[in-house]
Amino acid sequence: MSGNVTSKQLLDHYARKVYADAAAAKAVGKPVGWSTAIVPQEFFETMDLPLVYPENHSAVISARKRALGFLERAEGYGYHADVCGYMRVNFGYLLEGARGDDDVPPAPVPDFVVCCNNYCTMIVKWYENLAKELGVPLFMIDMPYNPEGAVDEARVRYIRAQFDRLVGRLEDLTGRPFDRERFRRVMEISRENARLWKRAFELVGHVPSPANGFDFYNYLTLMVFMRGRAETTEVLRLWIREMEGKIARGEGPFRDAAEKFRIMFDGIACWPQLAHTAKAFRSYGINITGSNYPDGWAVQYETGDLDGMARAYASIANNMSLEKAVEKRVEIIRQGRCDGAVYHMNRSCKVMDFTTYEAQRRVFAETGVPYITFDGDQADPRVFVAAQFDTRIQALVEMMEAREESER
Amino acid sequence: MSGENRIRAILTGLAAVAARPGEAAERLKREKGKPLVGVLPYYAPEEIVHAAGMLPVGVWGGTADASMAGHYFPPFACPLVKSTLDLALRGVYDGLAAMIVPALCESLTFFGQNFRAARPGIPFVPVVHPQNRRTPEGVAYLRAEYERVRDRLAEIAGREVTAADLDRAIGVFNDHRRAMRAFLEEAPRHPSLVSPRVRHAVAKSAYYMDKADHGALVGELTGLLKSLPEESGAGKRVVVTGIMAEPEGLLDLFEEVGLEISADDLAQESRAFRTDVPDGGDPLERLARRWSLVEGCSLAFDPGKERNRILLDLVRNSGARGLVVLMIQFCDPEEMDYPLYRKELDAAGVPVLHLEVEPRMSLEQARTRLQSFAEMI
């Protein structure tokens, strides 16, 4: 694509194409997989095996306000309303016949599923159930939690051996040999995309920020779906150029208002109430300039270094100790030059929630940046209470103003 | 003492231990003169504690108000870890030489992190099991984890832990598991002596006694029970599944409505005793291989969902008329298994009762539901 296309338009184009391509592959009898979001996609890209990501699929459905029907379907089947909303939407979608429409992307029923538990534990149960219910093979890539905040050698050896095993299983699945040369190229592209993704975040940290609100959650789609592809490099480069242009012109995130406050948004977006939360932020001139969430996809390693790759994938912030979680957030707040922090107590995501209270106390002690917590969910619209959110944001604004005042 | 009196004496002793775990642990420490190490669920290598000359004690939460834990956990956290953290904050575990915390679910993983933050004075010994547990690389990784646990415990105990120490400890624990399995098989034949509450007490007391002592008592108990004629039970048999059969009082309701427990699939009971450490070679590797052999547990990676079949077999082979699911609140692994085994049991015509349990639950509601289930099956 060329001409005056914006990175956003290009992103939308590719995001749609991913589902269409998977459906087309399925139609001609090519195996299609479903995968967790931060999987070593390099292996599948190399083997030219299309992957669809149920978490992204559920997020899209939730943002388009279609989750409730699927949630209720899964709950009727026996899934407790306490478990992950993405998972319930996903099973609801399957139970409803896995059909797409204008709001629901047409994710084809998979021929295999891929699970990597480097940011979530319960996801193993999700994928076990998919494998059993659909009668398809499950490629489990286990990356044990790092309670001491470091990926030790025993873990690296274990993960490396799983990579080798995976290659063999993929060769069996496709009947084709694993192309090492192509693998190197995919690693190179993935590495470049991770570098660009990090670079984009540095630009988001500029004052005023060239990025707007939940912008980077949109670009994240690319990092989930196409981290190993040149198309992603194209979009990220364009996005970076656009942001550099805005910085050069001194333009902020909002057309009609100044960027008054900058915050770190901790956790996944509250997709069903995206419009409400974005509008509330904007009404106070609040912009999001940092988040722990997109950071997970900046997987960095040297091309050809499989041990490094194992270590990088196992070092996702969710898979590390409380101390590392605090360190990461302090870094995000500093890089994003944040005035405040908003912690989403996301009912679905126990990994992110269960150390939030202690983490936020420590982050505050280190940065002095005021924070609030609100209750919501990444998929289930029944959890969020608008009045609570609005009141807490108002309180945060007052705290940020008071801090600004005292520092003057 | 007659056989039946001796049985009652043993059961009364074990029931007292199960009813007051804290006091039992204190007594254990005093009588044995050995340091105690707290062990959270599930599948921790307790043998290593024993080999290091210390004694493992189970840490399974409590029923007290868990308000202090709200400083760390949101309201929708697992009650087991929440109440455990609360007890930790109240200083209940301060006398322990260490705390071993496996990371088999999110609740336990982040309990570990919160516990270390809240009680830095108690040595924290995490252990993270592999999920690809049946491959050589999975076993090798877990062996390395156990090696780290061994070195840490040796340091705490201030002594070396040799292969011979480990082999001896494995022997003690395997003997204990065998004794427990024999008891659990014999128990349903004697419902008037071994009520659901008593059955649970025998299993639970194992966590607060020296395994060798507990195994010997349970062995004697089973022998005495075997010498008695089998009772023709008046109750209806059920299998129970879940994490644990608590709070206290819950199992009394079974007896009250005429339900007998023919077998269990509880993490605190049968799942803990089902799998022995295999024979042969390096003891740490044998311990790691035990994890490969675990079957049908919500905490152990199982893409084939063996648990569905295991539950159906348990019901059929133990002559049960139905399955009671004791679903501890906010337990993702258990909640995720439920729809699938439920579907298979429904298809096989096995009645299932799903009962949500938590430490401060209303027993009144549970009574009504158990009552109607007992009438239905």
Q: Report d(CA A302, CA A330) in Å as an integer.
A: 26
Do residues A57 and A87 touch, judged by C-beta distance below 8 A?
Answer: no
Going by the DSSP 8-state scheme, the letter that residue B299 receives in this structure is T
Q: Using the Cα atoms of residue A13, residue A14, residue A19 and residue A20 in order, give the sign of their dihedral.
A: positive
Q: Most A CBs within 10 Å: which of B42, B86, B100, B106, as the mutation test of the A interface?
A: B106
In chain B, whose CA is at the least distance from the CA of A148?
B126
- Tell me how close the Cα of A244 comes to any Cα of chain B, in angstroms: 40
Residues of chain A positioned with their CB less than 8 A from the CB of B291:
none
Contact assignment for B305 to A128 by CB distance below 8 Å? yes
Question: For all residues of chain A together, what is the average pLDDT?
Answer: 95
* CA distance linking residue B50 with residue A2, whole number of Å: 69
Residue contact B342–A78, C-beta within 8 A: yes
Nearest chain B Cα distance for residue A327, angstroms? 15
What is the count of residue pairs from A and B with beta carbons less than 8 Å apart? Answer: 148
Euclidean distance between CA atoms A191 and A187, whole angstroms: 6
DSSP B110: H
What are the tens digits of pLDDT across the range B34-57? 999 999 999 999 999 999 999 999
Question: At which residue do the structure tokens 């990220």 appear?
Answer: A236
Residue B85 near residue B73 (C-beta atoms within 8 A):
yes
Which among A158, A306, A374 is the top mutation candidate for probing chain B, defined by the most B β-carbons within 10 Å of its own β-carbon? A158
Q: Do B74 and A158 touch (CB under 8 A)?
A: no
Question: Exposed, middle or buried, A399 (CB in 10 Å: 0-12/13-18/19+)?
Answer: middle
For residue A261, what pLDDT band results from cuts at 50, 70 and 90?
Answer: very high
Q: Do residue A144 and residue B141 have CB atoms under 8 angstroms apart?
A: yes
Q: Tell me the β-bridge partners of B37.
A: B56, B98
Closest partner residue to B330 (CB to CB) among A82, A142, A145 is: A82
Residues ≥6 apart with Cβ < 8 Å to A241: none
pLDDT digits (tens, 9 = 90+) for A329-382: 999 999 999 999 999 999 999 999 999 999 999 999 999 999 999 999 999 999
H/E element holding A266?
Answer: strand A261-266
Give pTM, 2 decimals. 0.96
Residue A1 pLDDT: 46
The nearest alpha carbon in chain A to B334 belongs to: A125
Rounded Cα distance, A360 and B2, in Å: 63
- A45 min Cα distance to partner chain B (Å): 23
Residue A257 has pLDDT above 90, yes or no: no
**Is the pLDDT assigned to residue B140 strictly greater than 90?**
yes
- Whole-number Å distance between alpha carbons of A357 and B72: 5
The Cα A144–Cα A76 span in angstroms is 33
Q: What are phi and psi of A106, to 5 degrees?
A: -80, 80
Helix (H, G, I), strand (E, B) or coil at B97: coil
Q: Which stretches of A89-148 are assigned E, i.e. beta strand?
A: 112-116, 138-141
Are the C-beta atoms of residues B114 and B86 closer than 8 Å to each other?
Answer: no
Q: Is A374:A344 a contact under the CB 8 Å cutoff?
A: yes
Alpha-carbon distances, residue B200 vs B153, B194, B268 (angstroms): 30, 9, 9
Structure confidence by residue, pLDDT tens digits, B174-201: 999 999 999 999 999 999 999 999 999 9
Q: Is A83 left (phi over 0), alpha (psi -120 to 50) or beta?
A: beta
Q: How many CB atoms lie within 10 A of CB B3?
A: 12
Predicted pLDDT of residue A3: 62
Say what percent of chain A tops pLDDT 90: 89
Nearest-CA residue of chain B relative to A74? B339
Residue in chain A nearest B301 by alpha carbon: A124
Per-residue pLDDT tens over the stretch A100-125: 999 999 999 999 999 999 999 999 99
Cβ within 8 Å, pair A353-B74: yes
Q: How far is A363 from chain B (nearest CA, A)?
A: 14
Residue A33 corresponds to which amino acid?
Answer: G
pLDDT at B107 over 50: yes
* DSSP-derived pairing of the beta strands A261-266 and A112-116: unpaired
Measured between CA atoms, the residue of chain A closest to residue B133 is: A142
- Report the residue of A34, A124, A363 to disrupt the B interface, i.e. the one with the largest count of B CBs within 10 Å: A124
Nearest to B130 among A133, A144, A322 (CB): A144
Tell me if A78 and B339 make a contact (CB, 8 A cut-off). Answer: yes
For residue A5, give how far its alpha carbon lies from the nearest alpha carbon of chain B (Å). 44
pLDDT tens-digit series, residues A194-253? 999 999 989 999 999 999 877 888 898 888 889 999 999 999 999 999 999 999 999 999
Give residue B343's pLDDT band: very low, low, confident or very high (50, 70, 90): very high
Q: Who among A80, A132, A162 is closest to B303 (CB)?
A: A132
Contacts 24+ apart (CB under 8 A), A174-181: A174/A31, A174/A47, A174/A49, A176/A47, A178/A43, A178/A46, A178/A47, A179/A46
Segment A274-302, tens digit of pLDDT: 999 999 999 999 999 998 877 778 888 99
Give how far A37 is from chain B: nearest CA, Å: 18
Instruction: Give burial (CB, 10 Å; 0-12/13-18/19+) of B234.
Output: exposed
Distance of CA B85 to the CA centre of its chain: 18
The residues, any chain, with a CB within 8 Å of residue B265's CB and separated by 6 or more, are: B239, B240, B241, B242, B271, B296, B307, B310, B311, B314
- Here the ipTM equals 0.96
Q: How far is CA B276 from CA A200, A220, B222, in A?
A: 53, 47, 19
Give the residue-averaged pLDDT of A19-43.
Answer: 95
Phi, psi of A162 (to 5 degrees): -70, -35
Other residues' Cβ atoms within 10 Å of the Cβ of residue B147: 15
Tell me the residue type at A338.
C
Nearest alpha carbon to residue A282 among A249, A250, A258, A251: A258
How wide is the angle at C-alpha B60 spanned by C-alphas B163 and A124, nearest 5°?
A: 80
Residue A132 with chain B: CB contacts under 8 Å: 303-305, 340
Q: Reply yes or no on whether the pLDDT at B1 is more than 90.
A: no
Residue of B113, B129, B343, B344 to mutate when probing chain A, most A C-beta within 10 A: B113
How many other CB atoms sit within 10 Å of the CB of residue B226? 12
Once rounded to an integer, what is the mean pLDDT over residues A267-273?
95
How far B203 CA sits from the closest chain A CA (Å)?
28
Q: Shortest CB distance from A155 goes to which of B76, B107, B141?
A: B141
- For B69, which residue in chain A has the nearest alpha carbon? A357
Instruction: Compute CA B198 distance to the chain's CA centroid, rounded to the nearest angstrom.
Output: 15
Contacts of residue A250, defined as CB under 8 A and 6 or more positions apart, other chains included, come to A208
pLDDT number for residue B2:
83
Which residue type does A277 have? Answer: T
- Nearest-CA distance A386 → chain B (Å): 19
* Contact between B116 and A355 using a beta-carbon 8 Å cutoff: no
- Of the residues A84, A123, A145, the best mutation for testing chain B's interface (the one with the most B CB atoms within 10 Å of its CB) is A145
Q: Are the Cβ atoms of B303 and A128 closer than 8 angstroms? A: yes
Q: How far apart are CA A160 and CA A87, in angstroms?
A: 28
Which residue has tokens 């929708």? B76
CB contact under 8 A, A82 and B76: yes
